[in-house]
Amino acid sequence: MSVSNYERVITELCGLIGFVDKRHLLGGGKLRMNDHTISFFHDTTGDTEGILVYIDMGSPSDDTAKIYADMLEINFMLGIGQRGCMSLHPDTHHVFYIFRVTLTDEALAQTLLDTLIRFIGDVGIETLKIRRHKQLDDAFELQHAEEFRNRLIRGGSI
C-alpha cells in the first residue's frame, strides 16, 4: 500500500501537468516549475508515509550573509518544520525549500500540485529576490510613491 500511494500520486501529478515520463519522477528525477527544479522522494521513515519535496531555488546572491539571515528568519516564521524549511545544499550551495506531504489512501495529486504552488508562494521566493536588491527596491518605491503623490496633487489618473 505504501509504494502504491506514492506511485499513484506521482502518476496522477504527471497526468495533471502533462509530464510523460512518470518513471523519471518516481526514480528521483527532477521536474522544472518556472525557475525552480523540484524533486520528489518517497518517505517511509516516520509513522505515516509521505513525499519529501525538494525545491531548488538556485544560488544565493553575492550578499550571502543577508540571504542566510533571511532564510533563518523565514524558517522561524514557518514554525518548527510544520510547513517545511529553507536550507543550503551541502554540495551545490543552492538554496532549497524542503517540505513533506503526508500520503494516505485518499491523497490526491491535485492537492500535491496545489501544495507546491502554495508553498512556493508561502516561502516568499519573491521576498528573497526583493531582499537581495533591497536598496534598488527602496529607491524604486520612493520614486513610485513620489510619482503617485504628484499625480494625485495634479488631479491626474493613476
- What pLDDT does residue 121 have? 66
Question: What is the C-alpha R_g of the chain?
Answer: 20
Find the DSSP H helices in the chain.
2-17, 22-26, 64-78, 109-123, 125-132, 134-154
- What pLDDT does residue 80 have? 65
Domain 2-124, CATH: 3.30.1460.10
Global confidence as pTM = 0.71
- What pLDDT does residue 116 have? 80
HEC profile of 89-113: CCCCCCEEEEEEEECCCCCCHHHHH
Per DSSP, the three-state class of 25 is helix
* Alpha carbon distances (Å) from 156 to 147, 148, 151, 152: 11, 9, 5, 6
- What pLDDT does residue 81 have? 58
Nine cell digits for residue 36: 525552480
Give 147's contacts (C-beta < 8 A, 6+ positions apart). none
Strand 50-56's sheet: what is its strand order? Answer: 30-33, 36-43, 50-56, 95-102, 85-88
Question: What is the C-alpha separation between 150 and 116, in angstroms, rounded?
Answer: 41
Question: What is the C-alpha separation between 12 and 55, in angstroms, rounded?
Answer: 19
- What pLDDT does residue 91 have? 95
Question: What is the C-alpha separation between 75 and 42, in angstroms, rounded?
Answer: 23
**What's the farthest any 2 CA atoms get from each other in the chain?**
68
Per-run averaged pLDDT (10 residues), the chain, 158 residues: 76 88 89 84 88 88 83 79 82 90 85 78 51 46 47 41
